[in-house]
Structure 1
Amino acid sequence: MTDTSTEKAAAKAPTGPVGAAPGPAAAPRTAQLWRGATPWLFLLAPLALLLTFTYAPIANMVAYSFTDWDGVSPELHYTGAENYAELFTRSDLFEVFWVSGYYLVASVFQIVAALYFATILSFNVRFRNFFKGVLFFPYLINGVAIGFVFLYFFQDGGTLDSVLGLFGVETDRAWLGTPESANTSLAAVSVWRYLGLNFVLFLGAIQSIPGELYEAAELDGASRWHQFRYIIAPGIKPVLSLTVILSISGSLSVFEIPYIMTGGATGTETFVIQTVKLAFQFNKTGLASAAAVMLLLIVLAVTWVQRRLVPDDKVDLA
């Protein structure tokens, strides 16, 4: 009787190494599913906003570009590629891209100036926090307010003429009266406004470079120019590439400043201003949508070419 009970107990006893701890229980399948779905739950709201306010309007814009919709009528008719054919057969619709050349040249001066100020103010300079605020402040101002301020600044007998008069320079030039002077003035306003954005991007990138590299360079007798050339310039290459992309795309899609100050008059009409007029002034929403699609494709193509020419390689400053 006793032997039989002992054999049954031994048969029920777990086998395996003596003293081995039991393995951890497998996580329930429901817990694993929740763990995998948690990141997507956090992304649900931003993805919904992105789809609703970005990709859905783009899809609608592409759909409208194949119609003759006037933007008001509830009826629209499919016209195929007629809007795109009209875009490429009317040279005047693409001639406005020459105006973007002024802003493209101005963006070069903007990047150079922003990089210069960011480099100088990244070192220990007196009142550097004050100058940082001065440089970044224009970017915080509303674009409409900037347009009206500089509209009075450039008008005949306005602020610019008054300041020049203090230095004995008499001028009766209409700064917004000819295409060359008007586009140059508007491009200068754009530089003044967006200089602070590029400045902050460059300053953040420069300050992310380890300080030990500067100390080692100073011990080796490197000047400020050598520190910029061999430490700062390679270290901020990804940010510099991003800034170039933003400058090119911004030059192609300028709208706010020229629209407020001149309304596109005096040869200052940009591609975006022309597209807005097609949609809301001439009620050619289908053609305007096709123009907007072409602008989007041009910006994407320029960005792709720039990324191919200047890839984002990993920077190793050690």
Structure 2
Amino acid sequence: MVQIADKAPRTGAPAPVRERPAPRPSRARLWRGVTPWLFMAVPLALLVTFTYAPVANMIAYSFTDWDGLSPDLKYTGFENYTELFTRPELFQVFYVSVYYLAASVVQIAVALYFATLLSFNVRFRNLFKGILFFPYLINGVAIGFVFLYFFQDGGTLDSVLKLFGASTDRAWLGTPASANVSLAGVSIWRFMGLNFVLFLGAIQSIPGELYEAAELDGATRWQQFRHIIAPGIKPVISLSVILAISGSLSVFEIPYIMTGGATGTETFVIQTVKLAFQFNKTGLASAAAVVLLLIILAATWVQRRLVPDDKVDLV
């Protein structure tokens, strides 16, 4: 508070002290506080409209028997969740996710290998970067149709194998094991580019002086990767693992386009879509979607607890 002394009276007595209210914040200071919220208003509105509001509606529908068409909703409590957990066949489709989880391990390893290799001086490395990232830019539906012809009898894969004298008398999408392996292989080819770019960006952010010091000490490429690159990109590897787990549990477009969930390739998301749009059980499908969301969040929490993101210090 600002204190101002009044004029001294003629009697010579000490002047009384009068308090003045603190000045209000200036307009410039007010605008500095409001401006960030003005920039975030539109993104926040879109986020709430297209993410949080649909999730809230999905949770609300999971407690009803809505068929997706009728305007009337009947509250059924936890009946949909009880049906989910008392019908084991609804959770058996998670076994298919094991194929995609194994494919994710291969995908991360291959992407990390190429990112490490192309972070050093290699001829035509920009060309190889584009080739590796290009599949991620292609539409998933187009990829599904391309590989549908690739794996069909007498298709591209069989023609290539004939050139090497290999037998081609098997249906690649005809049995559950071969179909799931084939579809998981397609997911490796498509999503490896994303992990490759993440790893490459993280590796290039490591100071070059560390590599120069390691080379002066006679460190090999493997030793540089083990003691410099791997610890330096640990947070990005952790992120890739989280994306791999959530992606393997929520696979949809590739198996839906190529097999429609037939031949033992049905995933949990394909089953949920069929419950909602084929059997008109939107309430049960919403409950299944909520359960899948909780499983992904739980898996992410466990992974973050087991491998926390510690601060990286390579110096």
TM-score (norm 2): 0.92
**1:295-314 paired onto structure 2 within 5 Å:** 295-314=292-311
1:142 corresponding residue in structure 2: 139
| Match status 1:65 vs 2:65 | no
Q: State the distance in 2 between where 1:27 and 1:314 align.
A: 42
User: Structure 2 unaligned runs (5+)?
Assistant: 1-5, 8-21
Query: What is the match of residue 79 of structure 1?
Result: 76
RMSD of the TM alignment (CA)? 1.4
Alignment of 1:1-318 (within 5 A): 28-318=25-315
CA shift for structure 1 position 161:
0.3
Return the letter of the residue paired with 1:163. V
> C-alpha distance in 1, partners of 2:51/2:72?
24
| SS in structure 1 at match of 2:113 | helix
Distance in structure 2 (CA, Å) of the matches to 1:29 and 1:99: 62
What is the Cα deviation at residue 31 of structure 1? 3.7
In structure 1, how many angstroms separate the alpha carbons of the residues matched to 2:292 and 2:285? Answer: 11
SS at match of 2:174: coil
Amino acid at match of 1:227: Q
Name structure 1 gaps, 5 residues minimum.
1-10, 13-24
Amino acid at match of 2:282: T
Give the SS at the match of 1:96: helix
Describe the superposition over 1:67-98 as per-residue Cα deviations: whole angstroms up to 9, x where unpaired: 00000111110000000000000000000000
What's the offset of the Cα at 1:53? 0.3
| Deviation (angstroms), 1:30 | 4.1
Letter in 2 for 1:230: H
Residue type at the aligned position of 1:95:
Q
Q: What is the rounded CA distance, in whole Å, between the counterparts of 2:25 and 2:89 in structure 1? A: 67
Secondary structure of the equivalent of 1:76? Answer: coil
Question: Using the alignment, how far apart are the partners of 2:190 and 2:24 within structure 1?
Answer: 56
Amino acid across the alignment from 2:207 = P
How far does the alpha carbon of each residue in 1:179-225 deviate from its partner, in whole angstroms, 9 at most, with x for none?
A: 00000000000000000000000000000000000000000110101
Per the alignment, in what secondary structure is the counterpart of residue 168 of structure 1? coil
The alignment-based identity, stated in percent, is: 83
1: distance between equivalents of 2:115 and 2:101? Answer: 21
Which amino acid in the other structure matches residue 176 of structure 1? L
- Structure 1 residues 43-81: Cα deviation after superposition (integer angstroms, max 9, x where no partner): 111000000000000000000000000001111100000
Partner SS for 2:260: coil
- State the alpha-carbon separation in 2 of the partners of residues 170 and 277 from structure 1: 37
Q: Which runs of 4+ in 1 moved over 6 A?
A: none
**1:79-130 deviation per Cα after TM superposition (whole angstroms, max 9, x unaligned):** 0000000000000000000000000000000000000000000000001011
What secondary structure is seen at the aligned counterpart in 2 of 1:283? Answer: coil
Q: CA deviation at 1:29?
A: 4.4
Normalising by structure 1, report the TM-score.
0.91
Q: In the alignment, residue 287 of structure 1 is paired with which amino acid?
A: L
**Structure of greater Rg:** 1
Q: Determine the C-alpha separation between the residues in 2 that align with 1:32 and 1:214.
A: 46
Output one character per residue of 1:148-173: Cα deviation in whole Å (capped at 9) or x when no partner: 00000000010000000011112210
SS in 2 for 1:79: coil
1:193 is paired with a residue whose SS is helix
Q: Secondary structure of the residue that 2:279 maps to in structure 1? A: coil
One-letter code of the match for 1:166? Answer: L
Q: Secondary structure at the match of 1:229?
A: helix
